Amino acid sequence: MSEVTFHHHIEDAEFKKRVRKTTILLSVITAIELGIGLTIYTIHKGENPSHLLVLMFKGLVCILTLAKAYYIVSVFMHLGDEIRNMIMTIVVPLMLFIWFIAAFIIDGNSYKNLRNNYDRHFKESTMPRPHHAEPAAPEEPKPGKQ
Amino acid sequence: MANTATAQQTKWWSGGKSPFNLEYGKVMMWYFLMSDAFTFGAFLISYGTIRFSQNFWPDPNVVFNAFPGTGHTNLPLAFVSVMTFILIISSVTMVLAVHAGHNGDKNGVMKWLAWTIVGGLAFLGCQAWEWHHLITGEHITLIDGKLELIGQTTRHNPWGQLVDHNEMLDAIKNTPANVLAEIVHEQKHDSNLAELLKLPKDQLAGMLNTAEMHVREKGPVAFGGYFFGITGFHGFHVFSGVIINIIMLLMTRNNVFQNKGHYLMIEKAGLYWHFVDLVWVFVFLCFYLI
């Protein structure tokens, strides 16, 4: 093409090595993600699920997903081989997602907190109950309070 | 004269050179994909906003635990991992098709494009099975004090909180006989549904294996709509990607690119196909993993 000044040329052997490496990386990361998914499942099934642990695993899966996205875009879509200005016109607008995700998720969370504070029916009908709930015993009168 | 006319036509970027050292069509494909990323992003973020505004949200391992041909065996994440690997592998075959195009290898392009199309169709088949299973697979759900059998639609879904044993026993008393007959039939596959439907309610209630019954409340209404909407939008992208790849395959077979002297069109189709894989990575994260 006349408007393209120089072409990238990649040797067949080098190309095969890169594709194989990326394929293995993507597969391994996906396998790790599935492992974490199943770990979250077993934590949920347990008697006292630790919410902090589940949250940490979910954060880890998000980071692994970003790594996968990086490899797909950079190697499979060859964005990593383009010149810097081209990369920037794609990546810089995507920075909007940082605000986009944060603002909307914080908004949703705030709506939940407001409803839990001011809408008792919402809170009582939707709040998760423990899996093997004992029938709630009538509260014993505490000696100190009377 | 003819020469100057064609020379002027190819000067898409004034100066005749691309500042990005890329062909015009490819740059535009990148910008289209960026805008598409915002569309998908907006859908997924809206899903996240609703999810964060709820106290309870279904556990994906409860919803997606079926595998074709295994009946009711609990296999969380198994089928979706097959779908994910299909898409990764079809992305790899697309890379190989693009590379064959660089080398001007017509047969290589055709071979790898054909495999990519097979992968895309396999993914669509998996998705069709999954949707069918979710819509028609009915689960016992507590609705207004009685039991009902419902599947997942955009109106309701059976993925709410587990109902405790005593509450379930109360609900059985209020449940109509035909629903109880269906539940008994579901538990004992060798029973005859037509016979069961003739039995009185008390007898049916006695036949229920209540120890094995898992009853849930109705799940958040938004779950079904977001799931079908977003995976459907992604599935539509896969479908159009398969169509584009089929067109590319036919054009390659008819020597269109060989006569042009380059296979840049395959690269653009490739970008689109990789984008479909990229979006799936995030759909997989948001719906199945977290």
- Tens-digit pLDDT profile for residues B252-285: 999 999 999 899 999 999 999 999 999 999 999 9
pLDDT tens digits, B39-68: 999 999 999 999 999 999 998 888 898 888
- What pLDDT is attached to residue A144? 54
The pLDDT > 70 percentage for chain B reads: 94
Please, which residues 61-120 of chain A have a Cβ atom closer than 8 Å to chain B? 61-62, 65, 68-69, 72-73, 76-77, 79, 82-83, 85-86, 89-90, 93-94, 96-97, 100-101, 104-105, 107-109, 111-112, 115-116
First to last CA, chain B: 64
* Chain A 6-35, residues with CB within 8 Å of chain B CB atoms: 6, 10, 12, 15, 19, 23, 26-27, 30, 33-34
pLDDT surpasses 80 at B187 = yes
**C-beta of residue B53 within 8 angstroms of C-beta of residue A112:** yes
In sequence order, the β-bridge partners of residue B141 are B148, B216
Mutation choice for A interface testing from B103, B144, B281, B282 by most A CBs within 10 A: B281
Chain A residues in contact with B84 (beta carbon < 8 A)? 30
Nearest CA in chain B to A64: B285
Give the DSSP letter of residue B162.
B
Percentage of residues in chain B having pLDDT higher than 90: 66
Looking at per-residue pLDDT, the higher value among B156 and B209 belongs to B156
CA dihedral B119, B124, B130, B132 (to 10 degrees): -150
Task: Supply B145's token pair.
Answer: 């004090």
The rounded distance, in Å, linking the Cα atoms of A11 and A30 is 28
Three-state SS sequence of B116-150: HHHHHHHHHHHHHHHHHHHHHCCEEEEECCEEEEE
Please give the domain boundaries of chain B with CATH numbers for all domains.
22-135+223-289 (1.20.120.80), 139-217 (no CATH)
If one compares A122 and B14, the residue with the highest pLDDT of the two is: A122
A residues 39..68 contacting B (CB < 8 A): 40-41, 44, 58, 61-62, 65, 68
| Number of continuous H segments (helices) and E segments (strands) in chain B | 12, 3
Interface test with B, best of A23, A77, A114, A125 (most B CBs within 10 A): A77
**pLDDT (average), residues A42-62:** 89
Complex ipTM, two decimals? 0.86
Length of chain A: 146
pLDDT at B2 over 70: no
Sheet containing B216-217, strands listed edge to edge, beginning at the edge strand earlier in sequence? B146-150, B139-143, B216-217
pLDDT at B5 over 60: no
DSSP one-letter string for B27-88: HHHHHHHHHHHHHHHHHHHHHHHHHHT-S----HHHHS---TTSTT---TTHHHHHHHHHHH
Instruction: State residue B277's pLDDT score.
Output: 96
pTM for this model (two decimals): 0.88
**Tell me, what's the pLDDT at B207?**
87
